[in-house]
Amino acid sequence: MAAIAAPTDTDATAAAVDWLAGLDATLANGISRIQLRLPGAAPDLFRELATAAAARCRRAGAELLVNADVALACELGTGVHLRSSQLATITQRPMLAEGSLLAASCHTAEDLAHAARLGCDFVVLGAVKATASHPGEPGIGWEAFAALRESVSLPVYAIGGLGPEDMGDARRRGGQGIAGIRALWGCRGA
């Protein structure tokens, strides 16, 4: 699974073209589950990229999950990935298109239990290691990941400072695999 970072180019058109090229490279590398996560993107740009990403993922046989936007996920017929803060506020599984996945970001045993009650199809848990997206936070480590993973029967992906070289560690500790941004995006993939 690849979680996707926002374009940083100040020229939105150039950033969109570069981002779509990165998506194509990621899909070509065999990443089959994409979370569309574009913090800070203008709503029109987010919608445009989500629409293009949904079409590209369908052609590649990959699953797309839109981050946080349940309405857009329903409109596009994709899955949705709930932020941990969003997960805490809902009491029932969102109505999604048939066969669409529901996932959530989890950081605590309470998050995991709530995700299970909602019927999430899988979760990401971490950050396992220090990561640039959460500066100053050391990560929970593999032992805490394994202990938290044992508390639920959901498929759990490790996230946070991980790359393809961490896949074995994640699986040995009961994880389904890894999720990542920098290590899995574009031509640096698995």
Phi, psi of 97 (to 5 degrees): -60, 145
Q: How confident is the model at residue 180 (pLDDT cuts 50, 70, 90)?
A: confident
In tens, the pLDDT along 136-179 reads: 888 999 999 999 999 999 999 999 999 999 999 999 999 999 99
> pLDDT at position 133, please?
77
Residue whose token pair is 């990229």: 49
Q: In the numeric block, which tokens belong to residue 72?
A: 């857009």
CA separation for the pair 14, 39 (Å, rounded): 17
186 secondary structure, DSSP code: G
Q: In the numeric block, which tokens belong to residue 78?
A: 């994709």
Mean pLDDT, rounded, of the chain:
89
In tens, the pLDDT along 93-127 reads: 999 999 999 999 999 999 999 999 999 999 999 99
Contacts of 71 (CB under 8 A, 6+ apart): none
Q: How confident is the model at residue 5 (pLDDT cuts 50, 70, 90)?
A: very low
> pLDDT at position 3, please?
43
Q: How many CB atoms lie within 10 A of CB 71?
A: 10
CA separation for the pair 56, 23 (Å, rounded): 8
Residue whose token pair is 């045993």: 109
Would you say 121 and 101 are in contact if contact means Cβ atoms under 8 Å apart? yes
Instruction: Tell me the pTM.
Output: 0.89
Q: At what angle do helices 12-28 and 43-60 cross, to 10 degrees?
A: 20
